[in-house]
Amino acid sequence: MLQGVPMVFTESRHRLCMWHIMKKLPSKISADVLDNTDLRSCIHRLVWNVYIKPETFESRWNDLLQTFGLQDHSWLNDMYNIKHLWVPAYFRELPMCCLMKTTSRCESSNAAFKVNSTSANTLVQFMMCFENRVDSQRYRQRVSEYKTSSTMFTGNTDLAIEQHAFAIYTNAVFAQVQKEIIKGKFLCYITNQTEPSNSSLLIDVTHLDKRNNITNVYQVTYNTVDQSASCSCRNFTRIGYLCRHVFCVYRLKNVERIPPQYINDRWRRDALPKQVFSISSRYGVNPHAPSVMRNEILDLVTECVDVARTDEDALAKLVD
């Protein structure tokens, strides 16, 4: 693959799956070291870090091997020699269209079907496994949807933009975005600001880690007219939501809402049409008129509750 990919996919960058590499740790490093030291967490913290530059990765890797006396470990050295193929520090510039890892989608489908089926299954057995699997995915979707619609907002900052993020994103994505907003407030600060043109500002944002050590300095280009912002960490391009550096700038500029061009539709609370959740779309529903009407009433009530969700007055009216 290493030889074939660049010949066929000339515009692509071939990347090895980090999850699979890290999964090999226990078979490559003695259990004694893994169980009795914090090597495992140190190494994970280092390799998954998307914010550090390649040179920082290299010096930290060498420090790490030295700390644990692993300088001569042949597998770790082999992995280090191909670091440009798997460590995110070397892929910081790459747009990933909201997917953090290219293989994760098909890999997780493979894994999901493997749980219930084997290659020895007949076609009928496979179809039954398939339906089972889809059912359980639908169930998980409903649980997530319930969490999103029933969770109340608990802010960790006094910023209006945090509330706006809560109002637009699903529960799971909001948790990620909220982290960025909080870290933008507590672990980022602005060190320099220049004004290359009337409407745009170049702002340097210093990024601190949990122990308040400076990790990197990023540059945010901010448009004072339409509040658009791009950051040299390229978090938005890579993952699909704004980074702490942009939120840090937004705090300074009193921007209270995430501009619409930075909100991916797939991550909105209302990404799925309401009909998907309606009772009549489920299996084995009674087709007789009274039953259909009962279900319709329940769907309508649910929809009203959803609309009123966090508005106390509206909910009180609904109760009346």
Binding site residues, Zn ion, CB under 5 A: 218, 231, 233, 235, 243, 245
Give me the least distance between CB of 184 and Zn ion, in Å please: 9
Give me the least distance between CB of 243 and Zn ion, in Å please: 3
Question: Please, which residue, 241 or 277, has the CB nearer to Zn ion?
Answer: 241
Question: Please, which residue, 238 or 269, has the CB nearer to Zn ion?
Answer: 238
- Chain CA centroid to CA 190, Å: 25
- Chain CA centroid to CA 33, Å: 31
Give me the least distance between CB of 79 and Zn ion, in Å please: 28
DSSP 180-203: HHHHHHHSEEEEEEE-SSSSEEEE
In this structure, are residues 181 and 157 in contact, taking their beta carbons and an 8 Å threshold?
Answer: yes
Contacts of 318 (CB under 8 A, 6+ apart): 304, 305, 308
**Helix (H, G, I), strand (E, B), or coil: what is residue 212?**
coil
- Beta pairing partners, 231: 220
Question: Please, which residue, 117 or 206, has the CB nearer to Zn ion?
Answer: 206
Give me the least distance between CB of 218 and Zn ion, in Å please: 5
Question: Please, which residue, 218 or 277, has the CB nearer to Zn ion?
Answer: 218
DSSP E strands, 104-228: 188-194, 200-208, 214-223
Question: Please, which residue, 29 or 205, has the CB nearer to Zn ion?
Answer: 205
Give me the least distance between CB of 75 and Zn ion, in Å please: 34
Token duo for residue 172: 């799971």
